[in-house]
Amino acid sequence: MDQWLAALPKTELHVHIEGTLEPELMFTLARRNGVSLPWVDVEGVRAAYRFHNLQSFLDLYYAGASVLQTEADFFQLAMAYFRRAVADGVKHCEVFFDPQTHIDRGIDIGTVIRGLARAAEAIRAESGLSVYYILCFLRHLSAESAMQTLLDALPYRRHFVGVGLDSSEVGNPPERFETVFEQARLEGLQRVAHAGEEGPPEYIWQALDLLRVARIDHGVRAEEDPQLMHRLQQEQIPLTVCPLSNLKLKGVDDLRQHNLKRLLDAGLCVTVNSDDPAYFDGYVLANYRAVAAALGLSRENLYNIARNGFVASFLPEVEKARWL
């Protein structure tokens, strides 16, 4: 089963590039860039990775991202993630980046995007992995800041396929971002949003109806609303579920309680992803293995999850067909 799972062609549709920053690289970049960190060493950082909810993680994640300063840093970060993804059997990934986390520290958006874009090209040449980027707006910031970020990114439009919405969910409903998502749609960009991770089903409805998203990131709280479940099933709107993330951020106390199998059994298009693998102790294959063991998933279940990843991706139909 283990070897079969490793070899199974997979996608990764929910991973934040800043969330792939391993403590070792964090310290290397901190030294290189003269940035001081609130931890003395790698063990100190790892010891701090005990989260009790999303916000307790985000505070640390934004602190860690402060070491990223140059185009070479973003390139190195992305290459390290891509090589791990390839080793996990990932054939195509759609990767979030959070420009506001960097712009607000005085880093030029071009520095971020050029470094990431160069890495996508390099990994394609090295291994054949295909990479799409999705620009995420931080929902704890204003809608005006999101719009400015979109405008700042438009000169680099060819380097990303869509926009997303992440950061602190509760109290920051999707409806605040309707205008910027409409602008993105008019630019021909795909749309996704984190919803129903910690927030209520109502936020999932808003993401669908107001932001007109093609996928819901997380979405696990959809289960509380039968009408919403019906819609997700009927329209086959994919959920990018991140089991180890849900465990580490205390969405569930034990993976055996995770609703992934129930969502799958209800006929939803469920995918498995890693979210912030350097912080949550597991890249995509570890997430597959963890749910397979905890929920007793069959090969057929796992095959269907992997297949859903290709179906749910933004690849052109001819590219999807290579894997289906």
88 binds, among Zn ion, ligand ADE, none (CB under 5 to 8 A by kind): none
Residue nearest to ligand ADE (CB): 166
CA distances from 108 to 44, 199, 204, 303, 320 (A): 30, 32, 32, 41, 34
DSSP letter for each residue of 239-264: EEE-HHHHHHTTS-SSGGG-SHHHHH
- 54 vs 166: CA distance, rounded Å: 11
76 vs 246, which CB is nearer to ligand ADE? 246
Q: Residues 120, 197, 216, 269: which binds ligand ADE (CB under 6 A)?
A: 197
Q: Shortest approach of ligand ADE to residue 103 CB, angstroms?
A: 16
Residue 94 binding partner per list Zn ion, ligand ADE, none, with a CB distance cut-off of 5 to 8 Å that depends on partner kind: none
Instruction: Look up residue 10 and give its two tokens.
Output: 């997979």
Place of tokens 């052109």: 316
- Tell whether residue 194 is among the known ligand binding residues: yes
For the chain, the first-to-last Cα distance in angstroms comes to 20
Catalytic residue among 71, 94, 169, 197: 197
94 is catalytic: no
Our finding on whether 248 is near ligand ADE (CB under 6 A) is: no
Q: Is 276 in the site for ligand ADE (CB under 6 A)?
A: yes
Residue 275 near Zn ion by CB under 5 A:
yes
Q: What angle do CA 305, 174, 93 make, to 5 degrees?
A: 35
**Residue 16 labeled ligand binder:** yes
Backbone angles phi, psi at 257, to 5 degrees: -90, 0
92 is in an annotated binding site: no
Q: What is the DSSP letter of 275?
A: B
Catalytic residue positions, numbered: 197
- Residue ranges that bind ligand ADE, judged by CB under 6 A: 16, 19, 54, 61, 166-167, 194, 197, 245, 275-276
